[in-house]
Structure 1
Amino acid sequence: MSSYTASVDLPPIPSSVPLARRLVRDVLRTWHAPQDREDAELLVTELVANVVDHAGVDVLTLELSLSGAWLRIGVLDGSAIMPVVRELSHTEERGRGMRLVASIADRWGAEEHRGGKRVWFELSPAGVGEPDGG
């Protein structure tokens, strides 16, 4: 299976959220990626919206890679504040984004990157799930 990578810088403004969704949709279609595209679009929406809402940075970078059967999408920003999976609240209108990422992604994480961070998730091909021992 082929491996592909793509990276694009976006301004951390609200209109970058739907743009990131479209980019993911178009790239996955072009790559013939076997992942659930709606899951990938939803999760990238959450990651980009978090940067727009909380990071206070000048630029964010959207990274995509398809290696073997696994898709990895990361969002980099210049803020060192790591994301938190919040307790579920039925009274708060917001704050469920990282809970969605943790629930839907096969794997996810956050790591320091050049004074900021990279928040990433991985998706297996639709219907496969995480491999044994992974």
Structure 2
Amino acid sequence: MPAQEAHVSAARHFTADLLESWSIPQDERDSAVLIVDELAANAARYGHECMTLQLALDHHVLHIVVVDSGADVDRPSHHIAPDEHGRGNGIVEFLAQSTEVHQAPEGREVHACLQPGSTGQ
């Protein structure tokens, strides 16, 4: 989908609907939707053209991957208040059992894994 703020809500709704169809409990769905919201918002902010959302449930572990077409960016934008930068990453790290960031040929990949039943470390 296009890396635009307007598409972040579509990623959230897609995630909620898919996880409901997979019978993921409400609490874990909420955590996953919040993770997707934060990662998609970052992709929309820093991605150049497009972003991709991948969700997979494998052996009771939910894998969330967001790829954007941007470069690896770890610094705040000049128009974001310093105390607000990084809050979303902190939320993702708190809710997920693991997170990884990779720079791939197609762009920046952010992986987060959730194990339903053990959110909120």
Q: TM-score, normalised by structure 1?
A: 0.75
Native 8 Å contact 1:28 1:37 kept in 2: yes
| 1:1-50 deviation line (CA, Å, top 9, x unaligned) | xxxxxxxxx11111211111100001111122357000000011000101
For residues 71-86 of structure 1, the aligned pairs below 5 Å read 71-83=62-74
The equivalent of 1:123 in structure 2 is: 114
State whether structure 2 residue 44 is matched by structure 1 residue 39: no
Partner of 2:18: 27
| Cα distance change on mapping 1:128 and 1:51 into 2, 3 Å | closer
Number of equivalences: 115
Q: Percentage identity across aligned positions? A: 32
Query: What TM-score does the superposition give when structure 2 sets the normalisation length?
Result: 0.82
Write 1 or 2 for the structure with the bigger share of helix. 2
Aligned 8 A contact 2:43 2:51 in 1:
yes
1:12 aligns with 2:3: yes
**Structure 2: which 5+ runs fail to align?**
76-81
CA gap of 1:19–1:115, structure 2 versus 1, over 3 A, is closer
Moved over 3 A (4+): 127-130
Structure with higher Rg: it is 1
1:24 aligned partner, one-letter code: T
Alpha-carbon separation, structure 1, partners of 2:63 and 2:89: 16
Rate the CA distance shift 1:128–1:80 in 2: closer, same or farther, 3 A.
closer
Aligned counterpart for 1:49 among listed residues 37, 41, 45 = 41
Letter paired with 2:40: V
Do the aligned partners of 2:8 and 2:40 also contact (CA within 8 Å) in 1?
A: yes
Q: Which residue of 1 aligns with 2:97?
A: 106
Q: Following TM superposition, by how much is the alpha carbon of 1:51 offset from its aligned partner in structure 2, in angstroms?
A: 1.2
Cα RMSD of the aligned pairs, angstroms, is 2.3
Which residue number corresponds to residue 6 of structure 1? Answer: none
The answer to whether the 8 Å contact 1:107/1:123 transfers is yes
Unmatched 5+ stretches in structure 1: 1-9, 85-90
The 2-side partners of 1:101 and 1:120 are apart by 10
| Paired AA for residue 62 in structure 1 | L
